[in-house]
Amino acid sequence: MTPEKLSAASFAGVICSVAILPSVASHFIYFSSPGLVLLWPRRRSLHVCEAEISSSIGLSSTRTVDTSQRRDSTIYNLKCSDAQVGLMGKTLLEFQPKIGDVLSAHKFSLHDVVILKTNKVDQRSCSLGQGVVYSLKDSSITVAFDEIPEDGLNSLMRLEKVANEVTYRRMKDALVQLSKRIQSGPAVDMISVLFGEKPPMFFTKNMHFAPFNENLDHSQRDAVLRALSCGSVFMLHGPPGTGKTTTILEIVLQEVKRGSKILACAASNIAVDNIVERLYPYRVKLVRLGHPARLLPQVLESALDAQVLRTDNSSLANDIRKEMKVLNGKMFKCKDRNTIREIRKELKALAREERRRQQLSVMDVLKNADVVLTTLVGASSRKLETIYFDVVIIDEAAQALEVECWIALLKGSRCILSGDHLQLPPTIQSVEAAKKGFGRTLFERVADLYGEKVMSMLTVQYRMHKLIMDWSSKEFYSGKIQAHANVGNHMLYDLQDVNRTSSTEPTLILVDIAGYDIEEKKDEEGSTMNEGEALIAISHALRLAESGVRASDIGIITPYSAQVNYLKVIRGKEAKLKDIEICTVDGFQGREKEAIIISMVRSNPRKEVGFLSDQRRMNVAITRARRQCCLVCDTETASTDSFLRGLVEYFQEHGEYFSASEYGYQT
């Protein structure tokens, strides 16, 4: 057999590996023997998936306690402070630190999978239970368990964050399914377009629509029109604050109006819930798939579990369970073997019927829904195995791994991808997987492949003062973004009860710590922090609060987790600031505040800026602010990087310049 080279086009479905860049597709070979055609490339793809799995999961079973602490993946010395029942029978346990008022440094976040263990420093200790992080505060963490742990709740405990291996297994399954769907299935034409085999088609003849939202701007209307006219693929490019979700909502409503069945997904549960919440008032037939502990309380009524309970088949299943309970009671009291045998036979029959009724309940809800909403990984649910959709909509597509997207895409014939590839991409744990392209998103790849042929960019933003916006617009979006009249000139002191002071008057503020011996250092885990810069950030936040700005309208963000932890410690000493949100830049993506204070941290004699030079991270940081953005940095260190130098110069030219001395520091 003679091996032949394949192009990305002729072997698109397999090499989609997402993990493998299209540029190296020509290195793939195949053998003409049936059954071997897919073998080597698929293994290569899955191998890269395995690299990511081992980086995320392998550590959880083999790492030492010291390693766990260093990776911020374990919180020790916890006591159970409260227990509640809710969330469709789930048990909510709240944990607080035994010592101090603030949880130790960690990288836990909402919806993480965690296991509960005793506090003993022994990696072999048995798990008391596995749950999902339901809520997270500085002083407590609440976890949802399917069942309340039987032991250990009266002693000190620890929580360990574990990677959800199921996620990665489902990604691998999606690659295998993709290789099988090249020639058949609802997504055939879409697959061909997404890999450049066929050109994208748009049907614009006599295309028009009557908007549900009359306030859509011109770029949003154009985007909706193009989405409705796409033959297989459309991309919605939504820069910060441009109303991406508003546009997605209109597209969903228009597709439902013309009879389409829609699968709407996103990388995160919060993004999915946001669509559900916005869609709910329109009384569309929608159903939200997902673990109840991962859903916002306000969308639980739309959850599949809740809707199933309201169906006729579920009522019948409940009646069957009651009958089974009576029979079980009879069986335990009965001493006649023949009677017991007959009861068991009847119980088995009833159990089969109960399962059938439950399955019918689920199918009734899903088949009658106009819109099914779930995370990308959740789209692999067995409940959706036999259901296909006219349109698959993926929000946050630029923050999702391409292989995650394929889990959902294979279920539909058309797709709409929404996102912004000029903000932060998904986090990749494995260096090997990252090098081989695992982190390159479908959104990026298709944007490079077709550009404006399949993409519309929203150009009116509704969040930022124009001075905050202009830097981002010129630096990332070719100057095409314009501020809506309602926000273009809004000021911090325009807010109710906020006084016009030297702290609230500027839109842009640069606080320069250069020359004041305020340098960075490493914490015990090796993350970078800057204590002096943190004190300045807190001082500015305090000035804003004293001028009448609500603490909940202020956010402090920084690229480094050590700086976040230190900022939280010193914030605790200021009662006025208890409601200020402090987070990493990555954790704040998709959010906004009236005033944002950015602590850039880096200040060193070597003038090293680290990953501050990541342009997309700074784009996210600056554009979180609505009315004021305060940048605290060492301008001498920052200016060694040409990109950051441009940012500093923009703030110097268009904002107010303060030195560290104005916050109590002496040279």
Q: Check residue 50 and give its pLDDT.
A: 55
- Do 94 and 214 lie in one domain? The reply is no
Out of 458, 490, 518, pick the residue that ends a domain.
458
Query: Is the Cβ–Cβ distance between 261 and 643 less than 8 Å?
Result: no
Is 52 within a domain? Answer: no
Please spell the DSSP secondary structure of 310-332, one letter per residue. TSHHHHHHHHHHHHHHHHHHHHH
Is 206 within a domain? Answer: yes
Higher pLDDT, 408 or 57: 408
Residue percentage of the chain with pLDDT more than 90: 47
Is 531 within a domain? Answer: yes
- Do 518 and 585 lie in one domain? The reply is yes
Which amino acid, one-letter code, is at 624? R
Whether 515 shows a pLDDT value over 70: the answer reads yes
Residue whose pair of structure tokens reads 């002083």 in the numeric block: 139
- Do 359 and 377 lie in one domain? The reply is no
Confidence of residue 137 (pLDDT cuts 50, 70, 90): confident
Whether 60 shows a pLDDT value over 60: the answer reads no
- Do 409 and 451 lie in one domain? The reply is yes
User: How far is the C-alpha of 376 from the C-alpha of 370, rounded, in Å?
Assistant: 18
Q: Of 438, 16, 414, 398, which is closest to residue 196 (Cα–Cα)?
A: 16
Out of 126, 146, 163, pick the residue that ends a domain.
163
Average pLDDT along the chain: 82
Whether 252 shows a pLDDT value over 80: the answer reads yes
Higher pLDDT, 327 or 371: 371
What is the tens place of the pLDDT at every residue in 334-358? 777 787 777 777 777 777 776 676 6
3-state class percentages of the chain: helix first, strand second, coil last, to nearest 5:
45, 20, 35
What is this structure's pTM? Answer: 0.78
Q: Which of 23-37, 242-256, 584-598 has the lowest mean pLDDT?
A: 23-37
What is the tens place of the pLDDT at every residue in 174-207? 888 887 766 677 888 999 999 998 999 998 776 7
What is the tens place of the pLDDT at every residue in 372-403? 999 999 898 888 888 999 999 999 999 999 99
Q: Of 622, 598, 589, which is closest to residue 420 (Cα–Cα)?
A: 589
Residue whose pair of structure tokens reads 């990677």 in the numeric block: 163
Whether 429 shows a pLDDT value over 90: the answer reads no
- Do 453 and 485 lie in one domain? The reply is no
Whether 58 shows a pLDDT value over 50: the answer reads no
- Do 502 and 432 lie in one domain? The reply is no
Region 238-253: mean pLDDT is 96
What is the tens place of the pLDDT at every residue in 150-164? 666 778 889 988 766
What is the tens place of the pLDDT at every residue in 473-486? 999 999 999 999 99
Is 516 within a domain? Answer: yes
User: How far is the C-alpha of 29 from the C-alpha of 645, rounded, in Å?
Assistant: 47
User: How far is the C-alpha of 61 from the C-alpha of 73, rounded, in Å?
Assistant: 12
**Total number of residues shown for the chain:** 667
Region 425-452: mean pLDDT is 82
As given in the structure block, the two tokens for residue 366 are 């899903």
Specify the long-range contacts of residues 25-28, CB closer than 8 Å, at least 24 apart.
none
Q: Check residue 129 and give its pLDDT.
A: 85
- Do 203 and 343 lie in one domain? The reply is no
- Do 531 and 435 lie in one domain? The reply is no
Whether 217 shows a pLDDT value over 60: the answer reads yes
What is the tens place of the pLDDT at every residue in 62-94? 444 444 444 567 888 898 888 776 555 567 888
Query: Is the Cβ–Cβ distance between 306 and 300 less than 8 Å?
Result: yes
Out of 366, 393, 414, pick the residue that ends a domain.
366
Q: Of 533, 508, 522, which is closest to residue 637 (Cα–Cα)?
A: 533
Q: Check residue 314 and give its pLDDT.
A: 55
| 524 CB neighbour count, 10 Å cutoff | 9
- Do 159 and 172 lie in one domain? The reply is no
Gyration radius (Cα) of the chain, Å: 27
Longest dimension (CA), the chain: 94
User: In which element (H, E) is residue 620 found?
Assistant: helix 615-622
- The enclosing domain of 579 has a CATH number of 3.40.50.300
Is 301 within a domain? Answer: no
- Do 497 and 602 lie in one domain? The reply is yes
Residue whose pair of structure tokens reads 């700005």 in the numeric block: 549
Whether 464 shows a pLDDT value over 90: the answer reads yes
As given in the structure block, the two tokens for residue 344 are 């068991």
Q: Check residue 5 and give its pLDDT.
A: 31
Please spell the DSSP secondary structure of 236-295, one letter per residue. EE--TTS-HHHHHHHHHHHHHHTT--EEEEESSHHHHHHHHHHHGGGT--EEE-S-GGGS
Whether 529 shows a pLDDT value over 50: the answer reads yes
Q: Of 13, 15, 9, which is closest to residue 43 (Cα–Cα)?
A: 15
Query: E strands of 321-388, at which residues?
Result: 371-375
Higher pLDDT, 437 or 454: 454
Number of H helices, E strands in the chain: 22, 25
Higher pLDDT, 464 or 80: 464
358: domain range? 310-366
As given in the structure block, the two tokens for residue 324 are 């089974």
Whether 601 shows a pLDDT value over 60: the answer reads yes
| 101 CB neighbour count, 10 Å cutoff | 11
Region 505-510: mean pLDDT is 98
Whether 23 shows a pLDDT value over 50: the answer reads no
Whether 48 shows a pLDDT value over 70: the answer reads no
- The enclosing domain of 82 has a CATH number of 2.40.30.270
Is 42 within a domain? Answer: no
- Do 393 and 274 lie in one domain? The reply is yes
As given in the structure block, the two tokens for residue 545 are 């609060």
Name the β-bridge partners of 95. Answer: 80, 141
Q: Check residue 386 and give its pLDDT.
A: 86
Is 16 within a domain? Answer: no
* Residue 373 phi, psi (nearest 5): -120, 135
Number of domains comprising the chain: 4
Higher pLDDT, 168 or 21: 168
Q: Terminal CA-to-CA distance of the chain, rounded, Å?
A: 76
Q: Check residue 235 and give its pLDDT.
A: 98
User: How far is the C-alpha of 346 from the C-alpha of 334, rounded, in Å?
Assistant: 15
User: How far is the C-alpha of 438 from the C-alpha of 436, rounded, in Å?
Assistant: 6
Q: Check residue 173 and give its pLDDT.
A: 84
Is 440 within a domain? Answer: yes
What is the tens place of the pLDDT at every residue in 546-556? 999 999 999 99
User: How far is the C-alpha of 191 from the C-alpha of 219, rounded, in Å?
Assistant: 28
Q: Check residue 354 and give its pLDDT.
A: 67
Query: Is the Cβ–Cβ distance between 518 and 665 less than 8 Å?
Result: yes
- Do 175 and 133 lie in one domain? The reply is no
